[in-house]
Amino acid sequence: MKTVYVDNNATTKVAPEVLEVMLPYFSEYYGNPSSMHFFGGQVQKKVDEARAKVADFLGADPSEIVFTSCGTESDNAAIFGTFDSYPEKRHFISTRVEHPAIGNVCTYLGRKGYRVTELSVDREGRLDLDELRESITDGTALVTIMYANNETGVIFPIEEIGEIVKAKGISFHTDAVQAAGKIPLNMKKSNIDMLSISGHKLHAPKGIGVLYIRKGAKFSPFMIGGHQEKGRRGGTENVPYIIGLGKACELAKKHLDEENTRIKVLRDYLEMKLLEKIPNTLVNGERLHRLPNTVSVSFEYVEGESILLLLSDLGICASSGSACTSGSLEPSHVLRAMGVPFTAAHGSIRFSLSIYNTKEEMDYIIEHLPPIIQRLRDISPFWKDYLKAQEKG
Ligand code: PLP
């Protein structure tokens, strides 16, 4: 069966160039980079080279790059590492639309007696920066706000947020797991103290991440162990994956313009055609400040899960904005926070593209999705009610 993979915000294909540079470091050059002998030393050199590539990609200094096991670990390390450094402060600020790697830490710390302010978003998924300004207190240790949303692609004004936070002398962390490789990031020109990225969102393997920590930023290690990563993250380095991530960052830098142009053209084409061909369809989130590869689209009066399954039968892999919780379909916390109406939130689908997608694949989706929606609406009582209400005027 033909596979059309448009779920790249969930995970991406490991680029062949990435896999190629990784392979020798499993069974040929398998030394421990901490070892004193030449066999470890040659591996350490490769880890350093990869660190330099990641730093170059982020506009950072290599000493500011800490390798972790994933985006979730980077996010956790940023929050717990900050609280450990400021034991007298018990408040932090985040948003209602974060990934669970931040959102569930907020809930956890809330239960532990920390005060958490989760900023709201409007119908377009935008933050109110006045709410941020008003939420900062003397007891605030950290502001953690995602760079771009994984479901809608909406990009937050991170530089403006950084200025507000810096003016108050507070630590600022951003989860850039979805932004990295899709829009330019430059730590030199920013007020960001810490930033998380994850390898598997940019064509490196699953199981490798980075926490950028600005020189001078207060941080206590989350993973306590050996002296690795200059004492900021214990644990023997995941050498092949680090080398793979270095290559992926090098490729991501090279492909950045392509991401912003060719992929955006494909995404806009898909979006335009779906809006044109399928009535009662809406795009979720601000369309202007949005990742070039992402569209979250709602088809009113049908269920996202049913759409996904029928798409999957045709080899099309996307994801939905609802999740099955205790037997009922709950719209995602992101769409709920945005106030997307129930009838639309339920029928939401996210398409997320990568450099490997083609126009033919978009045409395949455009050909097959309209009849799927029609088929589901034909059996939807909500759609029937809607049509009756329309008839009555
Ligand atoms: N943050 C965001 C915005 C994400 O989209 C994800 C993964 O989907 C994560 C964090 C977690 O990254 P990882 O899967 O590497 O733990």
- Model pLDDT for residues 339-390, shown as the tens digit of each residue: 999 999 999 999 999 999 999 999 999 999 999 999 999 999 999 999 999 9
pLDDT at 258: 82
What b-and-e string marks burial along 198-221, b requiring 16 or more CB atoms within 10 Å of the CB? bbbbbbbbeebbbbbbbeebebbb
**Domain-embedded: residue 261:** yes
CATH of the domain at 383: 3.90.1150.10
* Residue closest to 329 by CA, chosen among 350, 311, 348: 348
Mean pLDDT of 313-334: 78
Same-domain pairing of 206 and 306: no
Same-domain pairing of 271 and 240: no
Same-domain pairing of 159 and 275: no
Same-domain pairing of 272 and 286: yes
pLDDT at 328: 56
> For 250-259, what is each residue's pLDDT tens digit?
999 999 988 8
Catalytic residue (choose from 70, 249, 317, 324): 324
> For 120-152, what is each residue's pLDDT tens digit?
999 999 999 999 999 999 999 999 999 999 999
Same-domain pairing of 203 and 285: no
Considering the entire predicted model, what is its pTM? 0.96
Same-domain pairing of 243 and 286: no
Examine the residue annotation and report whether 317 is marked as an active-site residue of this protein. no
Q: Extract the tokens encoding 246.
A: 């270095």
pLDDT band at 326 (very low <50, low <70, confident <90, very high): very low
**22: Cβ contacts below 8 Å, ≥ 6 apart:** 205, 240, 241, 243, 244, 247
Structural domain including 208 reads: 16-254
Please tell me the distance between residue 389's alpha carbon and the centre of ligand 1 in angstroms: 42
Residues with CB under 6 A from ligand 1: 70-72, 75, 99, 101, 146, 150, 175, 177-178, 198, 200, 209
Mean pLDDT of 217-232: 95
**Domain-embedded: residue 185:** yes
Mean pLDDT of 147-170: 97
Q: Final residue of a domain: which of 204, 238, 254?
A: 254
Q: Which residue has the tokens 């050059």?
A: 29
**Ligand 1 atom at minimal distance to the Cα of residue 209:** 15
Same-domain pairing of 47 and 151: yes
CATH of the domain at 211: 3.40.640.10
Same-domain pairing of 178 and 246: yes
Same-domain pairing of 36 and 162: yes
Same-domain pairing of 229 and 310: no
**Domain-embedded: residue 101:** yes
Same-domain pairing of 367 and 281: yes
Tally of domains within the chain: 2
pLDDT at 59: 98
**Domain-embedded: residue 5:** no
